[in-house]
Structure 1
Amino acid sequence: MAFSARVESSAISNINVTPLVDVLLVLLIIFMITAPVITHKTRIDLPQGSNKPIADRADTIRLAIHADGALYWNDTPVDEPQLKTQLAIAAQQNLQPRLSIDAADGAAYQAVAHVLSEAKAQGLSRIDFAASH
């Protein structure tokens, strides 16, 4: 039994482009269908700005919480009942002031959470946290 090994020295260099053409035709059809949707114009009514300066700017209240738990309302020491009163007064103003809470690095989390919950309970909505230096 003789076997003959047929060895070809040249590689097949033909590329089958039929699948490529099929994919391109499908993509062309998809783009043709979606193109009118993309170019559809939608009318949007945006609010117009004004050049008038804002006359009423709300004040910023600085509430400092020290490491020992002491509270300072604009650098004036306050206790719990005074803090509740000040927060209630600030919440009832026409243009609510911005409350900036400045907690010291060693301040207890519970003290900060209590002040924050009290401010929210009184109705203050503009509350920020200031970075301690």
Structure 2
Amino acid sequence: MTSPKPSVLFVCVHNAGRSQMAQGFLTHLAGDRIEVRSAGTAPADTINPAAVEAMREVGIDITDQTPKVLTPDTVETSTIVITMGCGDTCPYFPGVDYRDWKLDDPAGKDITAVRPIRDEIRTRVEQLIDELSPPSPPDQNHP
């Protein structure tokens, strides 16, 4: 019997920059091996255009995403909740693995300032994938 697929929830205040970029990277890099969601404690109306452009530069389109409000159910049904600057406004549930990624907020910043934030998020997402989904053994039929 296989274990259930891990579920990662990225949370920031506006769900318009950091959490959307993290969701975009994890979805792109992990495929369907990990369930990925994001939400905000006070969602913005739209995604940060600089975050959209920064992700477009690395070949990931997040324009179909919209900021979503954080609900207790979303937190409770997650394996890991990664917070990014939302402080104590995230509901706490025993048994959920909470992690805080201290990252600059891209709100109001231009693309030049958002690129390093994007790159740091990618590095952390890649580490998370390695932790949650170890690589498959090499295919013996293909060198």
Same topology, TM > 0.5:
no
Higher radius of gyration, 1 or 2: 1
TM-score (norm 1): 0.30
